[in-house]
Amino acid sequence: MDNKTLYQIALTLIKGVGVMHARNLMEIVGDEEAIFRESRQRLKAIPRLPEKVIDEIRNPEVLRRAEKELTFVTKNNLQTLFFTDPSYPQRLTQCIDAPVLLYSRGECDLNRSKVVSVVGTRNATRQGIEFCETFIRELSESNPDILVVSGLAYGIDICAHRSALKQGLSTVAVLAHGLDRIYPSLHRQTAVEMLKAGALLTEFPSETNPDKHNFVKRNRIVAGMADAVVVIESGVKGGSLTTADIANSYFREVFALPGRVKDPMSAGCNRLIADNQAVLLHSSQQFLAHMGWEKQPEVKKATQKELFAELTAEEEQICQLLSRHESMQVNNLSVELNIPVTELFLTLLELEVKNVVKTLPGGVYRLA
């Protein structure tokens, strides 16, 4: 750990500086350390930076708290992932409210080619548990490198983690508190097992309690770092529905397991499907087909010498990337090309009109 890490932590501890302010400060000043070394006069010149925030930046207590947190990070062999780091979950970088900094414990590549978040009610039924176990087992059989993300909560969350571990898959728990504790404590043993084949991840520093509003913040990470969110059982209200809503706002694929009309733990999923906010999920095979994650037969590379003849520079860049893969999900394209998803959709639409690319279910694209 170095001074850079100290100032990165300090940036997240400034009262009144949220994700957007932090990013703007980085863009204008250019360096996390420079933010704390700037004169008050220079800080005043930054547009829309309140006087109270300037006072906090100049407050020496912020760096003292950051030093304390850095000591905790170093002592416990944690990793810090700043939003500019290559190891930071790159899918999250396209989300406008993504955390500036994440704390991680464990060994896991958070940028796997396939990432799925599995969430659901804390009061899972036997049918929900059985479906979750079967779903993850079947995913592992065809995609052994898939990463399973959830929130370590009771019910479907812990079932997803334990099922992933049982099948030899990597799994990540996104927490609503600091890494100095595990909540709920009953899941500590599972959390320990995950460190060997996954990670514990949080945006919260040590001594942060699992307060109610932190779970909502946690849910945006669960949604944003995945290609798809699968909801297995939910009441008419609950965190899983919040996660699904956030995932839709991030242009992620959302799936929901349907149930009988009168089943209280199916009411939320049924509503997502009825409102066209989720794809009706009935099997792992259907999920894989929709996402374009089925094992594809080898296809001979088409000879398209004139393929890029009448394309813009950005269109050609997309096609060159697709030519190196059988197909790619739009979020992976966005990360590889460093183009926001909203802009990328427009360019991909142009390429479809030109009959250069073809869209597949699940936001997957390939050359036509």
DSSP string, 179-209: TT--SSGGGHHHHHHHTTSEEEEESSPTT--
Q: Taking Cα atoms as reference points, which of 94, 79, 99 lies closest to residue 11?
A: 99
Residue 306 lies in a domain: no
Q: What local confidence, expressed as pLDDT, does residue 336 receive?
A: 86
The answer to which of 84-88, 287-291, 332-336 has the lowest mean pLDDT is: 332-336
Instruction: Please say which residue of 14, 44, 75 terminates a domain.
Output: 75
Residue 302 lies in a domain: no
Are residue 243 and residue 177 in the same domain, yes or no? yes
Q: State which residues form the domain around 18.
A: 1-75
Statement: residue 101 has pLDDT above 50: yes
Residue 346 lies in a domain: yes
Over residues 304-333, mean pLDDT: 78
Tokens of 341: 């998803």
Over residues 264-290, mean pLDDT: 96
Over residues 243-268, mean pLDDT: 96
Are residue 164 and residue 51 in the same domain, yes or no? no
Tokens of 3: 């001074």
Are residue 330 and residue 272 in the same domain, yes or no? no
Statement: residue 306 has pLDDT above 50: no
Statement: residue 304 has pLDDT above 80: no
The answer to which of 37-46, 98-107, 214-223 has the lowest mean pLDDT is: 37-46
Statement: residue 305 has pLDDT above 80: no
For residue 261, CA distances in Å to 93, 255, 283, 296 come to 38, 18, 19, 37
Are residue 123 and residue 175 in the same domain, yes or no? yes
For 284-368, where are the alpha helices, taking DSSP H only? 284-291, 313-322, 330-337, 341-353
| Mean pLDDT value across the chain | 91
User: Nearest 5 degrees, angle CA 72-CA 78-CA 80?
Assistant: 100
Summarised one tens digit per residue, pLDDT across range 161-196 is: 999 999 999 999 999 999 999 999 999 999 999 998
Question: How many whole angstroms from its chain centre is CA 117?
Answer: 8
The answer to which of 19-23, 207-211, 222-226 has the lowest mean pLDDT is: 19-23
Contacts of 163 (CB under 8 A, 6+ apart): 132, 133, 136, 137, 148
Tokens of 209: 């309690």
User: What's the start-to-end Cα distance of the chain, in Å?
Assistant: 47
Residue 347 lies in a domain: yes
Residue 299 lies in a domain: no
- Count of structural domains within the chain: 3
How many Cβ atoms are within 10 Å of 349's Cβ, its own excluded?
Answer: 12
User: Mean pLDDT highest for which of 236-250, 282-296, 339-353?
Assistant: 236-250
Question: Residue 341 belongs to a domain with what CATH number?
Answer: 1.10.10.10
Are residue 119 and residue 200 in the same domain, yes or no? yes
Statement: residue 307 has pLDDT above 50: no
